[in-house]
Chain A
Amino acid sequence: TQLLEQSPQFLSIQEGENLTVYCNSSSVFSSLQWYRQEPGEGPVLLVTVVTGGEVKKLKRLTFQFGDARKDSSLHITAAQPGDTGLYLCAGETGANNLFFGTGTRLTVIP
């Protein structure tokens, strides 16, 4: 079973601060996806990274896939209260099902 561990599990920061969320595994993935989930809703895809070392930016969010395709990070610059939510990483092995991480619950305090 592929296990994706996210850290930190919970994060509470002030508006304007920067933060990084990590997603680590001992398994290699063909791609890695980051989702954000709001209460009462399903996960919504933010980005997919495919190539080892790949960096993608989505406004204030920067996603990086590790060189060995086993880990990833999400960096948020100048966090806003609207960034509050549950962030999930998910790895795909090629069988077209996803292995989800344990999640990071982010709270941005105004």
Chain B
Amino acid sequence: EAGVTQFPSHSVIEKGQTVTLRCDPISGHDNLYWYRRVMGKEIKFLLHFVKESKQDESGMPNNRFLAERTGGTYSTLKVQPAELEDSGVYFCASSPFRGSPLHFGNGTRLTVT
């Protein structure tokens, strides 16, 4: 089966611009998660979808971040406007049901200059 895919793999943008990251979970996985690692820090939870619904968005840093999962398939994470501290690696993960192991994508490395 195809794994979790993320696009783009790298993105370099200027401060103030907008960037949209995309995640395609494993087919049939209702649970989709976004995590990120900023420089020198541990990987941190951002939010969790169950199908198209936001189950938990307690990790979203501020209202410049907007995640969507229309139709319950792929998800997008938009950062608008991007700030320097948003630089890092954004990981997406999916699982078929609550409590089952997460499958991570390879991440999108975002650099804000």
Is this pair of chains taken from one and the same complex?
Answer: yes
Show the binding face of A for B, using Cβ within 8 Å. Answer: 4, 33, 40-45, 48, 88, 90, 95-103
Total count of chain B residues near the partner, CB < 8 A: 23
- Residue among B48, B99, B107 making CB contact with A42, cutoff 8 Å: B107
Is B77 an interface residue when CB atoms closer than 8 A count as contact?
no
Show the binding face of B for A, using Cβ within 8 Å. Answer: 4, 31, 33, 35, 42-45, 48, 55-56, 58-59, 91, 93, 98-99, 101-102, 104-107
Residue of A nearest to B46 (CB): A97
Q: In the complex the two chains form, is B104's CB within 8 Å of A42's CB?
A: yes
**Given A95-B56, A97-B59: A40 and B106 interface contact (C-beta under 8 Å):** yes
A40 CB contacts on chain B under 8 angstroms: 106
- Residue among A4, A99, A101, A103 making CB contact with B45, cutoff 8 Å: A99
B104 CB contacts on chain A under 8 angstroms: 42-44
